A and B are shown apart, each in its own frame.
Chain A
Amino acid sequence: MSSNCTSAAPVSASKTKTKKKHFIGQKVKLFRASEPILSILMWGVNHTINELSNVPVPVMLMPDDFKAYSKIKVDNHLFNKENLPSRFKFKEYCPMVFRNLRERFCIDDQDYQNSLTRSAPLNSDSQGRFGNRFLSSYDHRFVIKTVSSEDIAEMHNILKKYHQFIVECHGNTLLPQFLGMYRLTVDGVETYMVVTRNVFSHRLTVHRKYDLKGSTVSREASDKEKAKELPTFKDNDFLNEGQKLPIGDDNKKYFLEKLKHDVEFLATLKIMDYSLLVGIHDVERAEQEEMDVEGVGEEEEYENDGMGGGVLTGSFGTPPDSPGNPLNCGGFFGPGEFDPSVDVYAIKSQDGVVKKEVYFMAIIDILTHYDAKKKAAHAAKTVKHGAGAEISTVNPEQYSKRFYEFMSNILS
Chain B
Amino acid sequence: RRSVRRRGAAVLAKTKTKKKHFVAQKVKLFRASDPLLSVLMWGVNHSINELSHVQIPIMLMPDDFKAYSKIKVDNHLFNKENMPSHFKFKEYCPLVFRNLRERFGIDDQDFLNSLTRSAPLNSDAQGRSGARFHTSYDKRYVIKIISSEDVAEMHNILKKYHQFIVECHGNTLLPQFLGIYRLTVDGDETYMIVTRNVFSHRLSVYKKYDLKGSTVAREASEKEKAKELPTYKDNDFINDGQKICIDGENKKMFLEKLRKDVEFLAQLKLMDYSLLVGIHDVERAEQEDVESEDNEPEDEGESDGGGIGTPPDSPSNTLDSTKPLSPGEFDPAIDVYAIKSNDSAPRKEVYFMAVIDILQHYDAKKKAAHAAKTVKHGAGAEISTVNPEQYSKRFYDFITTILS
A50 to B46, CA, bound (A): 9
A234 to B158, CA, bound (A): 66
A254 sits at the interface (CB 8 A): no
Contacts of A257 in B (CB 8 A): none
Contact with A along B17-46 (1 / 0, CB 8 A): 000000000111110000000000000010
- Name A69's closest neighbour in chain B (CB-CB): B76
How many residues does chain B have at the interface if contact means C-beta atoms less than 8 Å apart?
A: 31
Contact with B along A52-77 (1 / 0, CB 8 A): 01111000000011011111111111
Specify which of B26, B28, B64 is in contact with A78 (CB 8 Å cutoff). Answer: B64
Q: Is the CB of A74 within 8 A of B71?
A: yes
Min CB distance B111 to A, Å, is 17
Contacts of B78 in A (CB 8 A): 55, 65, 68-70, 95-96
Contact with A along B63-84 (1 / 0, CB 8 A): 1101111111111111101000
Specify which of A28, A50, A69 is in contact with B75 (CB 8 Å cutoff). Answer: A69
A96 to B79, CA, bound (A): 9
Q: Is the CB of A77 within 8 A of B66?
A: yes
Q: Is the CB of A29 within 8 A of B71?
A: no
- Name A43's closest neighbour in chain B (CB-CB): B53
A79 sits at the interface (CB 8 A): yes
Q: Quick one: which of A73-107 are within 8 Å of B by CB?
A: 73-80, 82, 95-96
A155 sits at the interface (CB 8 A): no
Q: Is the CB of A76 within 8 A of B75?
A: no
Q: Is the CB of B72 within 8 A of A73?
A: yes
Contacts of B49 in A (CB 8 A): 50
A53 to B25, CA, bound (A): 11
A186 sits at the interface (CB 8 A): no
A30 sits at the interface (CB 8 A): yes
A399 sits at the interface (CB 8 A): no
Q: Quick one: which of A9-46 are within 8 Å of B by CB?
A: 28-31, 46
Min CB distance B58 to A, Å, is 14
* Among B26, B49, B79: residue with most chain A CB under 10 A: B79
B52 sits at the interface (CB 8 A): yes
Q: Is the CB of B69 within 8 A of A80?
A: yes
Specify which of A56, A72, A96 is in contact with B73 (CB 8 Å cutoff). Answer: A72
B54 sits at the interface (CB 8 A): yes
A299 sits at the interface (CB 8 A): no
A294 sits at the interface (CB 8 A): no
Contacts of A31 in B (CB 8 A): 53
A60 to B96, CA, bound (A): 44
- Name A77's closest neighbour in chain B (CB-CB): B68
A56 to B49, CA, bound (A): 20
- Name A42's closest neighbour in chain B (CB-CB): B53
Contacts of A77 in B (CB 8 A): 66-70
Q: Is the CB of A78 within 8 A of B77?
A: no
Q: Is the CB of B53 within 8 A of A28?
A: yes
Specify which of B26, B30, B68, B79 is in contact with A79 (CB 8 Å cutoff). Answer: B68
- Name A51's closest neighbour in chain B (CB-CB): B79
- Name A63's closest neighbour in chain B (CB-CB): B77
- Name A64's closest neighbour in chain B (CB-CB): B77
- Name A78's closest neighbour in chain B (CB-CB): B67
Specify which of B53, B72, B76 is in contact with A29 (CB 8 Å cutoff). Answer: B53
Contacts of B50 in A (CB 8 A): 80
- Name B42's closest neighbour in chain A (CB-CB): A54
12 inter-chain pairs at a CB distance below 8 angstroms, sorted by A residue, are A29-B53, A65-B77, A71-B74, A71-B75, A73-B74, A74-B70, A75-B72, A77-B70, A78-B68, A79-B69, A80-B54, A82-B55
| Residues on B facing A (Cβ under 8 Å) | 26-30, 45, 49-50, 52-55, 63-64, 66-79, 81, 94-95
The 7 closest A-B pairs by CB, nearest first: A78-B67, A68-B77, A75-B70, A73-B72, A71-B74, A79-B67, A68-B78
